[in-house]
Amino acid sequence: MCGIVGYAGHRQAADVVIEGLRRLEYRGYDSAGIAVVEDGKLRSAKRAGKLVNLVEALAEGAPLPGRVGVGHTRWATHGPPTDPNAHPHTDCNGHLAVVHNGIIENFAALRAEAAAAGHELASDTDTEVVAHLLEAEMAAADADGTQLARPGSLAEAMRRVCRRLEGAFTLVAVDIRDPGAVVGARRNSPLVIGCGEGENFLASDVAAFIAYTRRAVELGQDQVAEIRADGVTVTGFDGVPARVTGYRVDWDVSAAEKAGYEYFMLKEIAEQPRAIADTLLGRIGADGNLTLDEMRLPADELREIDKIVVVACGTAYHAGMIAKYAIEHWCRIPCEVELASEFRYRDPILTRSTLVIAISQSGETMDTLMAVRHAREQRSRVLAICNVNGSSIPRECDAVLYTRAGPEIAVASTKAFLTQLVGCYLVALYLAQLRGTKYGDEARDVVSQLAQMPNAVDVVLETMEPVRALARELASEGCVLFLGRHVGFPVALEGALKLKELAYMHAEGFAAGELKHGPIALIEGGLPVVVVVPSPGGREVLHDKIVSNIQEIRARGARVIVIAEEGDHEVKPYADTLIEVPHVPTLLQPLVTTVPLQVFACELATAKGHDVDQPRNLAKSVTVE
C-alpha cells in the first residue's frame, strides 16, 4: 500500500518521480505528492485524489526543477485523503520532506513528544512525526547552526529515527542540507534500489524505474540506503555497512503498459494462457516427471511432511482452498487452509514436519508475511508460491516456487490467481510423485493435461461475448449470488469477491450444499444466481447434487446462470443462461470456470462506470495488517 519513488541523477527529478508514481498508482490512489531539492530550496506539491490532480496542479504552477526528489501515492491509514494528509510531509522549517508506506505503531507517543518540544504538526498522519524526528536529529547534528551541506547527515539522522520507530515502514526523505542524497529505510514494507548510470532510484516496486534500468537491489529488513547520482550506500539501522546482492529484472517496460487495452485488467485476463504456459515452462520433463528442484526443499524432508497448512489472503486464499482439494486427493497429506490474518492469532499447532505454503502475488502482503514469520518461529518449513521475484515473502521462506504471470497491475487479481493455481497443482503433483500416491495414474494423467491448460483457457476467452452481454444486462441489479461444490465452491467465492471489489455490489459465494442451511432465504424472484457446475464425467455424485440445488433455487424464482462443461445436456434445461467451458479434469476446472467470472465482473463494473483498475478503497499490495 502506498507507492514511493526517490530519484538522484542527471534528469529532472520531477519527471522521473511523476512517471514512477504513474506506474505505482495501483498501490494507492487517495492522494499524490512530490518534493524536489534544488539550489538550497525544497519545493513540494501535493493533492488529494488520483495522480492526475497533482499533475494538473503542477502544470498550472511554477516548474519544479532539481535533480533529486521523492514522490508518493497514498492509500490512507491515518487521516482522511485530504491535501494536508497527502505526503510528502515536511519539518517546521521546510528543510526536509519525507514519504512513508506502512504504519508507525508508536506514533501517538512520538507525536505527543514532538508537540511538547514545540513542533507544529499540520496533519493527522503517523508519517509527519518522522519529519519532526528527522528535524530534531538534523538540528542536533548541526549544533553550530551553520547548516552547511554535510554528506551522510541525512542517512545518519534516518538511522537514529528508525531505531525509535515501531511497526511497518518504508521511509524516503530528502533534505536541503544534504542536497545530493535521497535516503530510504525499510522495516516490513518493500523498498527496491534501482542502479543506473549516473543515476539511482528508490521505489516500492521496480515498475517505477524499469524504463531507466533493470539492475535492482532489494533493501533488506532494518536497512537504510543512501542514493546519490554516483553511488549507493547501504547500512543497517545500527550503521554497520550491509552486504547486498543485486539482480536483473527479467521483464521490460512494455509488460507494465496497457498495450492498447482500455484497462490493465482486460490485458491481464487476456494474458492468462501465456501466464499459465510460462508457469509450466521447464517444470514438466519429457518423461512426464516434474522437476521442481528450484524449490530447494530436499526430497527427504518433503517425504517426512505429515501436515500442510496453506496461508494466504483474498484471491490467493481462494487459490489455497483449491490447493487443499488437490493436495489431500493426490498426496493424501492432511491440509488446512487459513486466512493469513487469522493464522498466528489462534496459536496454530505447527511442528518441524508441517509444511506451510504461503501464497502471495505481491510477496509483500503483511498478513501473509507475519504468518510466514510465525510458522518459521515454530520451526516449520515454509514454501512461498509467489509472483514477484525477490519480494519479502519468498526472501523469508525456506523455499519458493515462482509463478510467472509477469507484472499484475490491476488491483483485482486475475492472471496471478490462475498461475497460483498452477503453482499449487505443481507442488501437489510433485509431492505425490515423490511420496507415491494412491491415485498415481490419475496424477500422471493430470500432469500431461496441465500442458493443455493454456489452450483450454484460450478457448474460454474466445467465447466471452455472451458473458459481457449478460454483465451489461445485470448492471442495475443489487445483488448476485454464486454457488459451487467441491473446487467450484472457492470459484464461487472468487466470483463474488471480483464483483464486490469491482462493481461495489452485494455478492456472496456459497457452498451449494449449504444453501438449505440458511442462504436460500435470500432467493427471490429474478435474483441472479451463478452456479459453477462440476463436470458430469468427473464425480457424478457432485454433478447430480448441484443439479438438485439448481432445481431448489429455480423453484423459488432465481434467475439461474450456469457455468458448465460443454455437452452437459443434463443441466442445460435448467439454465436461464448457459456459459460453456471445455472439459478438463475435475481438479483443474477452476482454471476454466473462473475466467467467465472475471470477465463478468470486469464488464459489469465498466457498465457501471467504475475505474476497473483502481476500485475504490483498495490497493494492490496490502502492506499493513
The SS3 of residue 416 is: helix
Name the grid cell of 341. 490474518
Q: What number of CA atoms fall less than 13 Å from residue 79's CA on the CB side?
A: 20
CA 148 from chain centre, in angstroms, equals: 43
If the CB atoms of residues 206 and 411 are measured against ligand M6R, the closer one turns out to be: 411
Out of 125, 368, 593, 594, the only residue in the binding site for ligand M6R (CB under 6 A) is 368
If the CB atoms of residues 397 and 560 are measured against ligand M6R, the closer one turns out to be: 397
If the CB atoms of residues 137 and 268 are measured against ligand M6R, the closer one turns out to be: 268
614 binds ligand M6R (CB under 6 A): no
Which residues 397-416 are close enough to bind ligand M6R by CB under 6 A?
A: 411-413
Residue type (1 letter), 429:
L
620 is catalytic: yes
> Which ranges of 214-351 would DSSP assign to H, the alpha helix?
264-270, 272-280, 299-304, 314-331, 340-343
Please report how close the Cβ of residue 186 comes to ligand M6R at its closest, in angstroms.
18
Please report how close the Cβ of residue 251 comes to ligand M6R at its closest, in angstroms.
17
Residue listed under C-alpha cell 519529519: 131
CB contact at 8 A, 114 and 121: yes
What is the distance between the alpha carbons of residues 83 and 79, in angstroms, rounded to a whole number?
A: 11
Give, as one character, the DSSP assignment of residue 586: G
Please report how close the Cβ of residue 313 comes to ligand M6R at its closest, in angstroms.
4
If the CB atoms of residues 1 and 546 are measured against ligand M6R, the closer one turns out to be: 1
Which residues 488-517 are close enough to bind ligand M6R by CB under 6 A?
A: 497, 501
361 binds ligand M6R (CB under 6 A): yes
Please report how close the Cβ of residue 578 comes to ligand M6R at its closest, in angstroms.
26
313 binds ligand M6R (CB under 6 A): yes
What is the distance between the alpha carbons of residues 531 and 508, in angstroms, rounded to a whole number?
A: 12
Q: Which stretch binds ligand M6R (CB under 6 A): 236-244, 254-262, 357-365, 375-383?
A: 357-365
Beta pairing class for 506-511 and 89-90 = unpaired
Total residues at interface with ligand M6R (CB under 6 A): 16
315 binds ligand M6R (CB under 6 A): yes
Please report how close the Cβ of residue 7 comes to ligand M6R at its closest, in angstroms.
26
31 binds ligand M6R (CB under 6 A): no
Please report how close the Cβ of residue 317 comes to ligand M6R at its closest, in angstroms.
7
If the CB atoms of residues 279 and 315 are measured against ligand M6R, the closer one turns out to be: 315
Residues facing residue 232 across a β-bridge: 227
Please report how close the Cβ of residue 362 comes to ligand M6R at its closest, in angstroms.
3
Out of 162, 331, 599, 622, the only residue in the binding site for ligand M6R (CB under 6 A) is 622
Q: Sheet containing 41-48: which strands, arranged edge to edge? A: 41-48, 31-38, 68-74, 3-8, 200-203, 192-195, 215-218, 246-248
If the CB atoms of residues 170 and 621 are measured against ligand M6R, the closer one turns out to be: 621
Residue listed under C-alpha cell 519479502: 392
If the CB atoms of residues 384 and 578 are measured against ligand M6R, the closer one turns out to be: 384
Q: What is the largest CA-CA distance in the chain?
A: 87
101 binds ligand M6R (CB under 6 A): no
If the CB atoms of residues 137 and 205 are measured against ligand M6R, the closer one turns out to be: 205
Residue nearest to ligand M6R (CB): 314
Please report how close the Cβ of residue 321 comes to ligand M6R at its closest, in angstroms.
13
Please report how close the Cβ of residue 393 comes to ligand M6R at its closest, in angstroms.
8
* Three state DSSP letters for 16-58: HHHHHHHHHHHHCCCEEEEEEEECCEEEEEEEECCHHHHHHHH
**What Cα–Cα distance (Å) separates residue 52 from each residue in 19, 25, 57?**
11, 10, 9
Q: Sheet containing 96-104: which strands, arranged edge to edge? A: 89-90, 96-104, 167-175, 182-187, 223-228, 231-236
Helices (H) and strands (E) in the chain, counts: 19, 24
What is the distance between the alpha carbons of residues 432 and 443, in angstroms, rounded to a whole number?
A: 8
Out of 33, 314, 394, 454, the only residue in the binding site for ligand M6R (CB under 6 A) is 314
594 binds ligand M6R (CB under 6 A): no
* Torsion sign (Cα): 261, 264, 268, 271: positive
Name the grid cell of 400. 519458493
Please report how close the Cβ of residue 369 comes to ligand M6R at its closest, in angstroms.
9
CA 299 from chain centre, in angstroms, equals: 30
Q: Which stretch binds ligand M6R (CB under 6 A): 54-62, 69-77, 354-362, 599-607?
A: 354-362
365 binds ligand M6R (CB under 6 A): yes
Out of 360, 589, 594, 598, the only residue in the binding site for ligand M6R (CB under 6 A) is 360
362 binds ligand M6R (CB under 6 A): yes
595 binds ligand M6R (CB under 6 A): no
370 binds ligand M6R (CB under 6 A): no
Query: What is the x/- site pattern for ligand M6R, positions 170-189, by CB under 6 A?
Result: --------------------
Q: Which stretch binds ligand M6R (CB under 6 A): 75-83, 197-205, 342-350, 361-369?
A: 361-369
Q: Which candidate in 324, 415, 498, 620 is catalytic?
A: 620
Give residues with Cβ within 8 angstroms of 311, minimum separation 6: 320, 337, 338, 339, 340, 343, 356, 357, 358, 359, 368, 371, 372, 375
Give, as one character, the DSSP assignment of residue 534: P
If the CB atoms of residues 69 and 590 are measured against ligand M6R, the closer one turns out to be: 590
* Torsion sign (Cα): 15, 17, 19, 25: negative
If the CB atoms of residues 235 and 420 are measured against ligand M6R, the closer one turns out to be: 420
Element housing 100 (H / E): strand 96-104
Task: Tell me the backbone φ, ψ of residue 590, rounded to 5 degrees.
Answer: -55, -25
Q: Which stretch binds ligand M6R (CB under 6 A): 96-104, 242-250, 360-368, 373-381?
A: 360-368
Q: Which stretch binds ligand M6R (CB under 6 A): 312-320, 443-451, 512-520, 532-540?
A: 312-320
If the CB atoms of residues 173 and 416 are measured against ligand M6R, the closer one turns out to be: 416
Task: Tell me the backbone φ, ψ of residue 359, rounded to 5 degrees.
Answer: -105, 130
If the CB atoms of residues 244 and 618 are measured against ligand M6R, the closer one turns out to be: 618
CB contact at 8 A, 600 and 471: yes
Q: Which candidate in 2, 386, 424, 602 is catalytic?
A: 2
Please report how close the Cβ of residue 497 comes to ligand M6R at its closest, in angstroms.
6
Cite the active site residues.
Answer: 2, 620
- For ligand M6R, the binding residues (CB under 6 A) are 313-316, 360-362, 365, 368, 411-413, 497, 501, 621-622
